[in-house]
Structure 1
Amino acid sequence: MANIIKIDNAVLKRRRRTEQKRKTEFKSKRMFYLIVCEGEKTEPNYFESLKKSLPKGVLELTNIDIDGTGKNTLSIIDEAKKLRDKYYSQYLRTIDKVWAVFDKDSFPDENFNNAINKGENSKLKINCAWTNEAFELWYLLHFNYYNTGISRRQYQNLIEKEINSASNRRDYRYLKNSKDMFALLNKYGDQKKAITNAERLEKQYLDRNFARHNPSTRVHNLVCELIKLTEDYVREQSI
């Protein structure tokens, strides 16, 4: 018969205190993110899928709320501030990071530039994951480096061409509000390549006339920040 090892009560109490301390520290580290998207479907669907791909432990430590406002470029920053304040009034909890996701599209240059400057210069900064000209540029960068201006009409054909080529298909058709884009990009594209390509585009432009930075995107900054949540979590677990 195996001997039963008795653990001293003092040791048990110490272990309980240590475990309670870890739970308290765990809760205090919880981060709150708010991602406010100009589009109602395309961008929210992508970031909801990215969020679901994060490890369970990351999602326990990080609250990520994604809102598709349907607001235009001119009002997206005000909407982000409004939602941030509403969150605080309801939950008495400060949002740690606020991101606004929006496109240049056909909006006037002045409106686009003003939205970015307004976000960056807000008392509580609104980070801007903008794209010139459209969010779909981020998709294309998963396959190749595009450094010439792309109009909205071209995006659909280029995305279909890239995915059909990568998947050895001929029948893929891009649906703008698809919930499958994140999965398709992960399967047939390369997220690291997309980040590298986006960084290359960013380095092309030295001025702050963002409306003239076509093509260009800052979506990779938000994606990298969300990826880093996983990296930090894994590193902490290994300590």
Structure 2
Amino acid sequence: MARKIKIPNERLKRFAREEQKRKKDIRSKRKYYLIVCEGEATEPNYFEGLKKDLPKGVLTAYQIDIAGTGRNTQSLVDEAFRLQSAYEKNTTRKVERLWVVFDRDSFSAQDFNATIQRCSNSSLGCAWSNEAFELWYLLHFQYYENSMSRQVYKEMIESHLKPTLGEGFRYEKNSEQMYALLKEYGSLEDAMRNAKRLAERFADKKDYANHNPCTMVWKLVEELLKLKN
């Protein structure tokens, strides 16, 4: 029988201290992303799915937190800055990237445009959609450039997924499964390409409320995917 080698307690304790310090150093060096969403479930659920799909090494190097607030436009931006300040004060760590995600919905053109312009005048990332976040879902299947209302999105999402999931499929706005369904039956590459194509139609025009359909969600998704490089 092989003789067991006994490691002195002092050495074990030192190893434990060094390992704890190493893990603490890794955590302290992690770059922090904070994504603040208008919706309390739809957008956070999608980005949680994307986050979990990132390689483990990315989540070791980056901390990505997603908050659903129920706020909108200007109040959402205010809340994003408040959350950033609270985090940095409590942890003494910097938030490297702060993003807001919101829709045009029924908000006034003036309020919608002013919010986007406010983001442009700061370092705040702005993943807005006109009219709704679900446009991003649709672009996984097809390019659309005709103006449409948010009421139409549900039917169109169902029309794309029913052929594979069955006639009984119903789109649920706060579903936790949409990221997985889009990954399985749609194409993220097509969504990126289609969204960029839509954005190019409006070029440098600042009347964002009239950019329908259009979504800048691709910018946030692209930035997160680049963390893998």
TM-score normalised to the size of structure 1? 0.83
1:180 aligns with 2:177: yes
Quote the sequence identity (%): 51
1:51 aligns with 2:51: yes
Amino acid paired to 2:178 = M
Amino acid paired to 2:201 = Q
1:202 aligns to what SS in structure 2?
A: helix
Cα distance between partner residues in 2 of 1:26 and 1:227: 21
Structure-to-structure mapping, 1:114-129, within 5 angstroms: 114-122=114-122, 125-129=123-127
Aligned residues: 207
Structure-to-structure mapping, 1:179-198, within 5 angstroms: 179-198=176-195
Which runs of no fewer than 5 residues in structure 1 stay unpaired?
1-21, 233-239
Q: CA 1:34 to 1:168, structure 2 compared with 1: closer, same or farther past 3 Å?
A: closer
Q: 2:149 aligns with which of 145, 148, 151?
A: 151
Deviation at 1:30, TM superposition (A): 2.3
Cα distance between partner residues in 2 of 1:87 and 1:186: 32
Q: CA RMSD in A?
A: 1.6
1:170 aligns with 2:157: no
Task: Spell out structure 1 runs of 4+ moving beyond 4 A.
Answer: 22-29
Deviation at 1:171, TM superposition (A): 1.6
Structure-to-structure mapping, 1:29-68, within 5 angstroms: 30-68=30-68
1:75 aligns to what SS in structure 2?
A: helix
Query: 1:7-59, CA deviations, whole angstroms, 9 ceiling, x for partnerless residues?
Result: xxxxxxxxxxxxxxx98996675211000000000000000111011111110
Q: CA 1:30 to 1:204, structure 2 compared with 1: closer, same or farther past 3 Å?
A: same
Q: CA 1:37 to 1:24, structure 2 compared with 1: closer, same or farther past 3 Å?
A: closer
Query: 1:44-84, CA deviations, whole angstroms, 9 ceiling, x for partnerless residues?
Result: 00001110111111101000010001002231111111110
Cα distance between partner residues in 1 of 2:74 and 2:81: 13
Cα distance between partner residues in 2 of 1:67 and 1:171: 31
Deviation at 1:211, TM superposition (A): 0.6
1:110 aligns with 2:107: no
Cα distance between partner residues in 2 of 1:94 and 1:25: 15
Cα distance between partner residues in 1 of 2:126 and 2:207: 15
1:220 is aligned to 218
Q: CA 1:168 to 1:92, structure 2 compared with 1: closer, same or farther past 3 Å?
A: closer
1:16 is aligned to none
Structure-to-structure mapping, 1:67-146, within 5 angstroms: 67-122=67-122, 125-146=123-144
1:203 is aligned to 200
Amino acid paired to 2:188 = Q
1:67 aligns to what SS in structure 2?
A: strand
